Amino acid sequence: MKQAIELLKEQNLLRVIEDEVDIDLEIPHIAYIEVKKDDSKTLLFKNPVSKRLNKKYDTPVVANLFGSYKATELFLGKHPDIIADEIEGLLKLKPPATLMDKLGMLGKMFHLKNVFPKRLKGRGECQEVVNEGSEVNLYDLPILKTWDKDGGPFITMGQVYTQSLNGEVKNLGMYRLQIYNEKELGLHWQIHKDSAIFFNEYKKAGKKMPVSIAIGGDPLYTWAATAPLPHGIFELLMYGFIKGENAQLVKSITNDLYVPKDVDFVIEGWVDTSRLEVEGPFGDHTGYYTLEEEYPVLEVSAITSKKEPIYVATVVGKPPLEDKFMGWATERVFLPLLKTTAPDLVDYAMPENGVFHNLIISKMKTSYPGHAKQFMHAFWGVGQMSFVKHAIFVNDDAPELEDYEAISDYILDRVMVDNILVSEGVCDALDHSSPSFAYGGKLGVDCTADNVTFPKKDIISDEELFEKIKELDNDIVEIKQYKTYTKTPITLLKTKKTKPIKESYEVLKPIKEHTKLLVFVDEKKNNLDNPYMLIWRVVNNIDARRDIYLQKEYIGINATNKNALDSFDRRWPDDTDCNKEVIESLRQRGLIDVDDEFLERFRIVD
């Protein structure tokens, strides 16, 4: 980690903060704002404190480690597209036909010997300081509380090491970890994750489950923890493949799990599989709080560290955040592996304001009628792609997927009800909008063919359209039109929502001569001049089976917060909003320097 910090410093990608800054809200709020800047940097807090605990820490805190594309590329050692090319080359290996082919293959095979982690004897640097038993105190670590309504402090960049009951399958994942007290923390591993599968094995056998949590070390360990590898593939293999050298592991002090020797902290312990505790709420990467649920508890048996460790944390909430850059690397690196199950895939993008699993745009080679709809089912059946809620498919002649203006024009010129598929399946456990936990609607839109032949709409001004709308529905308080030059002009509508949105959609039918796509959002907390945050709101707030209304040339989307009017009986969570008093204090102390327009652009405060 110290080497990583020096590397960032050399590249002018590090900002050092010497002031005393509180681990509750202050450090997270500074990091939250910093990473939204165009020139964002990694932050090193030299003097973290806790007013809540009346404590000063000797351990510095790093936030936004992957705080830019450049930093992410530095830690990978190369551009992620180069890594993807290397993976694709391995996947396409053929028997060598010539001596040169054989020599080339030998070189590749020699490189692969470095993929597998290597277990060392003795202790590592991560075990220079050992605290066991009565010496264990999680509050000795500068663990952050990010949001006012969080259930407590959370470890947000922990590398969670687990293994199957028989010890044959290893897993490295990243899950948020809530601190309950000095010796216990909650493990938010979701029902679809490998660790949850292992937990059920131990539970069935009536045995305690070992868990070790590493923090820090080589940043590539942290990225590998997020890698969407198939079940049974140890994520540290990616470290070895990318780094070209074995991850060197040492055995934990109080359980049999192995962790990288050079991480900064290791929290070891055991999970009593007969015990669950309420975990949450927590303001997560969706930009909403995830609500309280019961999860396993880690009873900490040891905390080990380097003599001079560094604590690493990430801040999650409304985009854009650090996961934008980590997700970019994942998206590029795993393209070849995705192509093995979806061979007609050309490229894909997961915009950060689509919160990754809520929106994917996929470019494909279309060969026959219905190809894209076939492709949708393939996507929804592939590993973590199965969690994607909204998928838009374009042909291989479409603009670059990252050119959002051009690609959105292309898509909107190809939207037709006949080309829309509404399905259902598993959802991410963090999803709040579906009627059922972790299960809900899926939306697939086939925009591969330019076959929309209906007459263009009679476009009128926002003012004229609003007058017509007000005559039909008094719930609508404001509108704005977008992309009126395309075949699918959009009308955004703010509503007071005194009746079901489906009724508003039906009563507004006469305006379909002027528009094609109606998007309803709540009157509060939405700015119709801010499309970036509107996309974030819409893809978070809809379940395709309930909230998509389809009539020929007249489509509606209900992106309001759901309640009894929508027959929604789950509890709707709050947005993650920064504390206004904390923001103002940080401004006055010169720790953040952004204006009100910046705060509004990213909906930072309520």
What's 414's DSSP letter? T
- What is the H or E stretch that residue 512 is in? none
Strand partners, 351: none
Torsion of CA 222, 227, 233, 239, to 10 degrees: -50
Question: Residue type for 49, please?
Answer: V
What's 255's DSSP letter? S
| Residues 296 and 178 sit within 8 Å (Cβ to Cβ) | no
The C-alpha angle 536, 542, 544, rounded to 5 degrees, equals 130
Neighbours of 386 (CB within 10 A): 16
For residues 387 and 191, give the distance between their C-alpha atoms in angstroms, rounded to a whole number.
12
Buried b / exposed e over 169-207, threshold 16 CB at 10 Å, is bbbbbbbbbbbbeebbbbbbbbebbbbbbbbebbbeeee
- Please name the residues in contact with 233: beta carbons below 8 A apart, sequence gap of 6 or more: none
Write the burial class of residue 100 (CB in 10 Å: 0-12 exposed, 13-18 middle, 19+ buried): exposed
For residues 205 and 212, give the distance between their C-alpha atoms in angstroms, rounded to a whole number.
20
- Please name the residues in contact with 498: beta carbons below 8 A apart, sequence gap of 6 or more: 475
Strands 61-63 and 42-50: antiparallel
Strands 248-251 and 118-119: parallel
- Cα→Cα distances 299→90, 260, 268, Å: 42, 21, 8
Tokens of 557: 């989307």
Phi-psi region of 297 (alpha: psi -120 to 50; beta: other; left: phi over 0): beta
For residues 45 and 34, give the distance between their C-alpha atoms in angstroms, rounded to a whole number.
13
CA atoms within 13 A on the CB side of 494: 13
CA atoms within 13 A on the CB side of 12: 1
What is the dihedral sign for C-alpha 255, 257, 260, 264? negative
3-class DSSP state of 279: strand
Strands 170-173 and 129-132: unpaired
141: nearest Cα among 149, 150, 131, 151:
131
| Residues 116 and 285 sit within 8 Å (Cβ to Cβ) | no
Tokens of 33: 């704002």
3-class DSSP state of 121: coil
For residues 237 and 396, give the distance between their C-alpha atoms in angstroms, rounded to a whole number.
32
Place of tokens 């009157």: 523
| Residues 501 and 560 sit within 8 Å (Cβ to Cβ) | yes
Name the residues annotated as catalytic.
284
